[in-house]
Chain A
Amino acid sequence: MGMTMTEKILAFHAGIDETKPGQLIDARCDMVLANDITAPIAIREFYKIGRERVWNGERIALVPDHFTPNKDIKSAEQAKIVREFAKKFEIKNYFEVGEMGIEHALLPEKGLVLPGDLVIGADSHTCTYGALGAFSTGVGSTDLACAMASGTAWFKVPESILLELSGKLPRYSSGKDVILKIIGDIGVDGARYMTMEFTGDGIASLSMDSRFTIANMAIEAGAKNGIFPVDDSTLSYVEESMKSGLREDEQKIYEKDPDAYYSREIRYDLGTIESQVAFPHLPENTKGISEVGDIKIDQVVIGSCTNGRMEDLKIAAEILRGRKVKKGVRLLIFPATQKILLDAMREGLIEVFIEAGGAVSTPTCGPCLGGHMGVLAEGEKAVATTNRNFVGRMGHKESEVYLASPAVAAASAVLGKISSPEELAL
């Protein structure tokens, strides 16, 4: 029996010839990651193991991105624990505020994740790196502590679902609409414990930024990981990112075997996917933009590990250029990394946002999880390009989050209600 991409990557890292779904393996990690929320517990557990050294100071990434720049004294203390640990154990890839970005945008950008890698991170959206043809998955702090000590982690080899994409997306649709559509169809536990492997000739038309968005939200269908094949777009992205010199090893390109086993196969014609909106309080509550109705909003958030990349800012700026945010609506924009912020500034996008009446922030996960920099009050509604719309996710338990693409978010900011860019008659 042939193997899927994920089975091949797991087999290689476990040092065995083949793996099958359900098999329990111990595998070597290429990179392990934690942030200012999850690292303090991982560090506490790491000390309990009693090791004097970490497994490899070059293969641990610590990114204080959630409650930073420190939102309060307690958060500052948490960030300090991470900073001091990084110093003590010579963690090379610790990114301080100023060079820090949202972890899942930052690691690929810095060339810290390569095709064929096995990566674990104490953050559920670690699955983002599947866009590069890597196996990457979220774990808890204790798993991360053990990986910092040993460089290994245990896995149950997941079953795989194959998602075949054909065609090309309509004008205002992007990766966000693809993944919201899929989650709407299969549900928030539709891929529970499983891999979502993407295939098909439609992938070539998807930008790397859109692929990151799609892989990022695989967890929102309960998946262990999402993974894309490696093509020319992947290779040129990696060529650019590796200029950082932070990783020098060779990348490995895996392809699924023609007779690999998939427990389910689903096909999508990208051309039929209109803009999607996920209603409160689950990402599976999706509707096409044409069926949304009249929903007035108080806040719009554009950013996050899901949609804070250059493609996202460009489409938002295209829609906001020469327009004004509706009076009474707050538009918050969070470029995901310092590089993205700088590029957006040089291309004049930041000017567009500010002239439209938007507030632009330094990179942070803040508002996505109701941490800081955009918390909602009772009864308020927000359109967000983030990934979760659970009860209380962005603030008060009686507030509501509608998930959408940057294009829909930008149009909604102008019209003050959830809207398609087409309603602006561009």
Chain B
Amino acid sequence: MNDNNNLFFEGVAHRYGDNIDTDVIIPARYLNTSDPNELALHCMEDIDKEFSRKKREGDLIVAGENFGCGSSREHAPIAIKASGISCVIAASFARIFYRNAINIGLPILECPEANADVEDGDRLAVDLEKGTIQNRSKKTDYKAQPFPEFMKEIIRAGGLINSMKKKLEGK
């Protein structure tokens, strides 16, 4: 699993559409556990039965509008991260998912341009710090929305828990 100190990722894109909800990312019937590896076995299975078999460490998910809508279950970004996915790129994210992904250290980028152009199987290289995405298969570049400084600090601290620890220790 990526520990996020490295802000450069390269892998193959798995394509999905708009409004990918947290119920399809990890169906509620598997929420009787919070073990990341067990959750990863069922990630995306209701819309893509092959996902857990075909994804490789470092691969990326590229999707459309409102990715992660629905339930607040943190099991969704946890399942994606434990699947070895290095980064999720979407045209837009639902707000709780966006927050959860940053809090647990799953890199995400908003990029409508990538959603419009990337095809399933394209090889992508992402620089999170710069917010750039290279499509090595199509030889094109996309520019993503940069993170606000406040969120970069959470990412640099290695997630919200570490940043909270520092804050409370400082008191």
Chain A residues close to B by CB (< 8 Å): 24, 37-38, 40-41, 44-45, 48-51, 66-67, 71-72, 74-75, 78, 121-124, 126, 138-143, 145-146, 149-150, 154, 188-189, 192-193, 219, 222, 224, 282, 369-371, 375, 388, 390-393, 397
Q: Are B159 and A142 in contact, with the CB atoms below 8 A? A: yes
Q: Are B71 and A124 in contact, with the CB atoms below 8 A? A: yes
Given A38-B72, A138-B96, A397-B46, A146 contacting B164 (CB threshold 8 A): yes
Q: Are B66 and A37 in contact, with the CB atoms below 8 A? A: no
Q: Which residues of A contact B28 (CB under 8 A)?
A: 37, 369-371, 393
Cβ contact of B27, chosen from A188, A219, A222, A370, cutoff 8 A: A370
Q: Are A188 and B34 in contact, with the CB atoms below 8 A? A: no
The smallest C-beta distance from A282 to any residue of chain B, in angstroms, reads 6
Q: Are A72 and B32 in contact, with the CB atoms below 8 A? A: yes
Given A150-B168, A189-B65, A391 contacting B70 (CB threshold 8 A): no
Asked whether B53 is an interface residue with its Cβ less than 8 Å from the other chain, the reply is no
Measured CA separation A44–B161 after assembly (Å): 11
Measured CA separation A49–B70 after assembly (Å): 28
Measured CA separation A397–B49 after assembly (Å): 11
Among B4-12, B98-106, B123-131, B134-142, the one that faces the other chain is: B98-106
Measured CA separation A24–B154 after assembly (Å): 13
Asked whether B75 is an interface residue with its Cβ less than 8 Å from the other chain, the reply is yes
Q: Which residues of A contact B99 (CB under 8 A)?
A: 139-140, 143
Asked whether B54 is an interface residue with its Cβ less than 8 Å from the other chain, the reply is no
Q: Are A78 and B34 in contact, with the CB atoms below 8 A? A: yes
Closest B residue by C-beta to A67: B32
Measured CA separation A140–B71 after assembly (Å): 9
Q: Which residues of A contact B95 (CB under 8 A)?
A: 192-193, 222, 224
Cβ contact of A141, chosen from B19, B27, B74, cutoff 8 A: B74
Given A141-B74, A193-B95, A390-B70, A67 contacting B31 (CB threshold 8 A): yes
Q: Are A142 and B74 in contact, with the CB atoms below 8 A? A: yes
Given A49-B164, A192-B95, A222-B66, A140 contacting B74 (CB threshold 8 A): yes
Given A189-B92, A392-B23, A49 contacting B165 (CB threshold 8 A): yes
Q: Are B103 and A142 in contact, with the CB atoms below 8 A? A: yes
Measured CA separation A254–B32 after assembly (Å): 40
Closest A residue by C-beta to B151: A24
The smallest C-beta distance from A71 to any residue of chain B, in angstroms, reads 7
Measured CA separation A141–B27 after assembly (Å): 17
Given A150-B168, A391-B46, A391-B47, A188 contacting B69 (CB threshold 8 A): yes
Given known contacts A78-B34, A140-B73, A369-B28, what 8 new A-B pairs fall within 8 Å (CB)?
A37-B28, A40-B34, A71-B32, A139-B100, A188-B66, A192-B95, A369-B71, A390-B23
The smallest C-beta distance from B13 to any residue of chain A, in angstroms, reads 22
Residue from A45, A72, A124, A139 with most neighbouring chain B CB atoms (10 Å): A124
Residue from A41, A140, A141, A219 with most neighbouring chain B CB atoms (10 Å): A140
Residue from B66, B71, B104 with most neighbouring chain A CB atoms (10 Å): B71
Closest B residue by C-beta to A41: B34
Given A41-B75, A370-B27, A142 contacting B104 (CB threshold 8 A): yes
Closest A residue by C-beta to B78: A41
Q: Are A50 and B72 in contact, with the CB atoms below 8 A? A: no
The 0/1 profile, CB within 8 Å of A marked 1, for residues 81-101 of chain B is: 000000000001011100110
